[in-house]
Amino acid sequence: MARNPSESPKTAAPSEPRVKIALAWAAAAWEVVWRATWPAVTVLGAFLVIAGFDLLPDLPGWLHALILAGFAAGLVLASRPLWRLRLPDGFAARRRLERDSGIDHRPLTGLHDTQATGTTDALSRALWQRHQLLRAAQLRALRPGLPRPRNAETDRFALRGLVVIGLALAFVAAGGDWGPRLGRAVTPGLFGAAAATAPRLDLFVTPPTYTGRPPIYLTAGQVAGPSNGASGPATGPIEIPVGSALVGRVAGGDSTPSLSLAGAKTDFATIDGGSFELQAKVTAGDRLTVSQGGTVLGDWPVKILPDAPPTIAFGQKPKPTERQALRLDATATDDYGIALLTATVTLAPGAPAVLDATPLVIPLSVPGRWPREVKSTSYQDLTPHPWAGQAVDIVLTATDAAGQTAVTAPERVTLPEREFHHPVARAIIDQRRILTLQPDQAESVAETLDTLSQRPDRYYDDKVVFLALRTAARRLFFAQDALPPPVAPLRDLLWDTALRIEDGDMSLAERSLRDAQQRLADALERGANDEEIRQLTDELRRAMDRYLQAMAEQMQDKMRRGEMTETQLPPDAQVMDRKQFQDMIDRMQQLSESGAKDQARQMLSQMQNMMENMRMGAMSQEQAQAQQRAMNLMKDLQKLTNAQRQLLDQTFRQQQSQQGGEEGESGQPPPGTPEQNAQTQEALRRALGEVMRELGDMGGDIPMPLGRAERAMKQAGDALAQGNPEGAVPSQTEALDQLQQGLQGMAQQMMEGMTAQPGMAGRGQNGQNFENQDPLGRPLTNSGGTTDGDVGLPTKFDTERARAILDELRQRLNDRSRPAPERDYIERLLRQF
């Protein structure tokens, strides 16, 4: 077939695919334009990289100008392909489309062919029509291809990629300073000093560490916000804590810059490279200005945040515990954090002049690092002190991290004085008091002690007591000429001897226990490593065993001597309390090893509360019944809470099933129907009403969260009865939250209302239970709720599994491809964590 435009075929040819031809032309045109322009774009990009990093202004003017000339020449040479740029025509676009489609015989060109011969022959015309149909079929298979820049043919080392990376880094480095930097890059300083460049200002403000505030970065036109550190325009005065360290740097300029703040002007110091630096402390002022040669480089309104002194007060008046230790309760606050708490004890006026009046300074525990609020409870056994039984003034002192202090008004109390019941122990303490208050009576005291030592039958024929009394008497006899006599060592010896007679080994065990508790508390406070904590915990565990064993032996001795009957001792008291204390010690060690040092300190403090306030007592039948009823109520409320949690899970699965029309992730249909769940919800609401009624019958206050839970249950039941699980989920979630809060309030109310505990349970003088557990013996969680099941403590595996579950929930919450109701449910689950 030959091309003959003068003749037109009798059969209409199919039309050209104009859209595909246009796309092919666009791809070809882009390739031509890009190949002609990319060298110039690369040169221009390289210049922008250098300008973004602000490198040219630091060079001498002549070199700066020479580099600019070089870039200009390179840009002209790289633009040469643009001079002979020719866009493709229609024929080239058709050929491009045919080549990209990979079709033979050039179908687009064939559209313009005409039948050259045989127009009168039927067979020839049929053959021509067949040819036209084949070309039309090939037109449908045409596919325009993507542009092919083929840069690698002329840039085999991919240097253009370095330009792209450099542009990204330069954009980050320049930030909002692109305009000034570009201006400096195209204006070489040919007529000034060779090293003089446009100045660049950077200010860094670092607040004191104890404030916990992030550093502030200031530059002309921008400010790093003090709240989140993100760069942005200043919307108000910049808050700077007093005492912050300010470091300023000015690069460039031909004169020394200065900083003005609080009416004072401070010059920068010259450093290498023609730059300037200043270091200062921010103490006052409302405007910060940096100027150089009469030009203001930066000007910001500032607000200096003062560091207020701490406040401190007695939580309650100092008082003795059941075991005659002095209880000190302190409450302190500070805007940034408390660093040190102390109690200073001084003799009140009118005390015997012979006593050493040097104040006694007692450090109090400060949990964590610079806490802003501290509630400290400390127990000090001052019964061996010479001031025992004397009136003293106690002053609490709080010191913040900046060294500011606050003191309380003095509280006058009488230091606890131990009462001894054994006649020989009481006589020894009387002689000890005489030796303390009347040192000139040392000879009389020695004679009395010698006389006491000669009657060993009166102190159980204890050889240790005999030797101690004889030693004290002889030392006093031999020291008659000493002025003053050695009172202090003998006073300690007599005290230990009286304790041995009174309590046997129990006093020594109690002292060892106190020491072990204090060493562990100190280690937790200073953040000791796990190995040291483990050793101190084992030491505390052994000390607790010795103390409880000594207490049991003392009770047995008293029962043998008729001083105590078995009816006064609850059954299995020792076994119950030994396990209780050992579980608390194990839990402390687990909390410390998992990084929860604060919770471990709190549990140790609770143990000290229990130990200081232990006393024996029997429970009446009426009290036992009331406590058992309270325990049953707590069990019922806990079961009700678990049932509400399960019902919430079922309702949520039904909601997912309705929205997605699927069976859920587990592949199982949701249990029950909304109508069945509505009946279950109503049953739970009636059960809650019964618990509230019984609680009212016991004479206690019904916690308000239980009432709110009952109303939320009613709303959830109505929504489920209408077949609307989605509307029931929020109400059921609210009901579950309120049930947990009510459970916590109910446990607290019952602990405060108990008047007795079986065995040696920890109680205060007002009957308050200091244990971190509910009346059922279950430990309270960090949020105040109770755990399920028995009193078993979580193992390390349980802790790691819980952490893995939390990580998985957080990962699912951040997965935006999951349905919104599922992410809302996960968010509610994670809210308390």
Q: What is the 3-state secondary structure (H, E, C) of 3-44?
A: CCCCCCCCCCCCCCCHHHHHHHHHHHHHHHHHHHHHHHHHHH
Alpha helices in 661-724 (DSSP H): 674-697, 704-721
At residue 259 the predicted structure's pLDDT band, cuts being 50, 70 and 90, is very high
Most confident of the following: 39-53, 325-339, 596-610: 325-339
720, 674 in Cβ contact below 8 A?
yes
Any idea what the Cα angle at residue 460 is, between residues 459 and 466, rounded to 5°?
55
For 482, residues 6+ apart whose C-beta sits below 8 A from its C-beta are: none
At residue 1 the predicted structure's pLDDT band, cuts being 50, 70 and 90, is very low
Higher pLDDT, 428 or 136: 428
Q: Can you tell me the distance from the alpha carbon of 588 to that of 539, in angstroms, rounded to the nearest whole number?
A: 13
At residue 4 the predicted structure's pLDDT band, cuts being 50, 70 and 90, is very low
Mean pLDDT score, 664-670 = 50
pLDDT score recorded for residue 495: 92
Higher pLDDT, 318 or 746: 318
Higher pLDDT, 227 or 700: 700
pLDDT score recorded for residue 768: 37
pLDDT score recorded for residue 770: 36
Provide the angle, in degrees to the nearest 10, between the axes of the packed helices 463-478 and 442-453: 150
Mean pLDDT score, 216-237 = 56
Q: Can you tell me the distance from the alpha carbon of 445 to that of 432, in angstroms, rounded to the nearest whole number?
A: 8
C-alpha closest to that of 210 among 84, 305, 338, 66: 338
Provide the angle, in degrees to the nearest 10, between the axes of the packed helices 487-503 and 463-478: 160
Mean pLDDT score, 135-141 = 69
pLDDT digits (tens, 9 = 90+) for 271-324: 876 789 999 999 999 999 999 888 888 889 999 999 999 999 999 999 998 778
Distance of CA 715 to the CA centre of its chain: 36
What b/e readout covers 715-753, taking b as 16+ CB neighbours within 10 angstroms?
bbbbbbbeeebebbbebbbbbbbbbbbbbbbbbbbbbeb
Q: Provide, rounded to the nearest whole percent, the portion of the chain with pLDDT above 90.
A: 19
Give the H/E segment covering residue 396.
strand 391-400
C-alpha closest to that of 681 among 742, 735, 634: 735
Mean pLDDT score, 359-364 = 93
C-alpha closest to that of 778 among 810, 743, 827, 809: 743
pLDDT at 516 over 70: yes
pLDDT score recorded for residue 408: 96
Mean pLDDT score, 507-533 = 81
Higher pLDDT, 656 or 141: 656
179, 477, 516 from 511: Cα distances, Å = 75, 30, 9
pLDDT digits (tens, 9 = 90+) for 627-653: 667 778 888 888 888 888 888 888 888
What's the mean per-residue pLDDT of the chain?
Answer: 77
518, 364 in Cβ contact below 8 A?
no
pLDDT at 142 over 80: no
For 712, residues 6+ apart whose C-beta sits below 8 A from its C-beta are: 731, 732, 734, 735, 738
pLDDT at 785 over 70: no
At residue 669 the predicted structure's pLDDT band, cuts being 50, 70 and 90, is low
Q: What would the DSSP string read from start to end of 724-778?
A: -HHHHHHHHHHHHHHHHHHHHHHHHHHHHH----STT--B-TTS-B-SSB-TTSP
Q: Can you tell me the distance from the alpha carbon of 296 to that of 115, in angstroms, rounded to the nearest whole number?
A: 85
At residue 433 the predicted structure's pLDDT band, cuts being 50, 70 and 90, is very high
Q: Can you tell me the distance from the alpha carbon of 294 to that of 257, in angstroms, rounded to the nearest whole number?
A: 9
Place of tokens 């149909």: 133
At residue 577 the predicted structure's pLDDT band, cuts being 50, 70 and 90, is low
Provide the angle, in degrees to the nearest 10, between the axes of the packed helices 159-174 and 18-52: 60
Sign, CA torsion 484/489/493/495? positive
Q: Can you tell me the distance from the alpha carbon of 308 to that of 321, in angstroms, rounded to the nearest whole number?
A: 35
716, 732 in Cβ contact below 8 A?
yes
pLDDT score recorded for residue 349: 92
pLDDT score recorded for residue 559: 67
Rg of the chain over all Cα atoms, to the nearest angstrom:
44
1, 131 in Cβ contact below 8 A?
yes
Q: What would the DSSP string read from start to end of 234-289?
A: --SPEEEETTEEEEEEEES-SS--EEEETTEEEEPEEETTTEEEEEEEE-S-SEEE
Higher pLDDT, 331 or 2: 331
Distance of CA 28 to the CA centre of its chain: 59
Q: Quick check: helix, strand or coil at residue 208?
A: coil
At residue 331 the predicted structure's pLDDT band, cuts being 50, 70 and 90, is very high
pLDDT at 196 over 80: no
287, 669, 777 from 767: Cα distances, Å = 59, 52, 17
Q: Can you tell me the distance from the alpha carbon of 415 to that of 317, in angstroms, rounded to the nearest whole number?
A: 12
Q: Quick check: helix, strand or coil at residue 179?
A: helix
pLDDT at 462 over 90: no
C-alpha closest to that of 604 among 697, 537, 696: 537
Higher pLDDT, 548 or 345: 345
User: How many C-beta atoms lie closer than 10 Å to residue 805's C-beta?
Assistant: 11
Mean pLDDT score, 737-743 = 83
At residue 789 the predicted structure's pLDDT band, cuts being 50, 70 and 90, is very low
pLDDT at 244 over 80: yes
| Both structure tokens of 375 | 């509630």
228, 379, 547 from 551: Cα distances, Å = 57, 20, 6
User: How many C-beta atoms lie closer than 10 Å to residue 485's C-beta?
Assistant: 20
Higher pLDDT, 597 or 206: 206
> At 255, which amino acid appears?
S
Q: Quick check: helix, strand or coil at residue 690?
A: helix
Most confident of the following: 230-234, 407-411, 774-778: 407-411
6, 421, 427, 443, 475 from 466: Cα distances, Å = 145, 19, 14, 19, 14
pLDDT score recorded for residue 369: 78
Mean pLDDT score, 692-710 = 80
Q: What are phi and psi of 554, to 5 degrees?
A: -65, -40
What b/e readout covers 223-234, taking b as 16+ CB neighbours within 10 angstroms?
bbbbeeeeeeee
Q: Can you tell me the distance from the alpha carbon of 24 to that of 1, in angstroms, rounded to the nearest whole number?
A: 27
Kindly give the pairing relationship between strand 391-400 and strand 311-320. Answer: unpaired
Any idea what the Cα angle at residue 563 is, between residues 559 and 567, rounded to 5°?
60
pLDDT at 385 over 90: yes
| Both structure tokens of 176 | 């909002």
Query: In this predicted structure, which of 299-313, 523-537, 590-604, 799-813 has the lowest mean pLDDT?
Result: 799-813
| Both structure tokens of 544 | 């607790």
pLDDT score recorded for residue 112: 66
Q: Can you tell me the distance from the alpha carbon of 238 to that of 300, in angstroms, rounded to the nearest whole number?
A: 7
List strand residue ranges (DSSP E) for 485-561, in order. Answer: none
> At 820, which amino acid appears?
A
Q: Can you tell me the distance from the alpha carbon of 637 to that of 736, in angstroms, rounded to the nearest whole number?
A: 11
Most confident of the following: 2-11, 431-440, 504-513, 822-831: 431-440
pLDDT at 50 over 80: yes
Give the H/E segment covering residue 805.
helix 796-813
> At 722, which amino acid appears?
Q
pLDDT at 365 over 70: yes
At residue 561 the predicted structure's pLDDT band, cuts being 50, 70 and 90, is low
Higher pLDDT, 700 or 344: 344
Q: Can you tell me the distance from the alpha carbon of 812 to that of 808, in angstroms, rounded to the nearest whole number?
A: 6
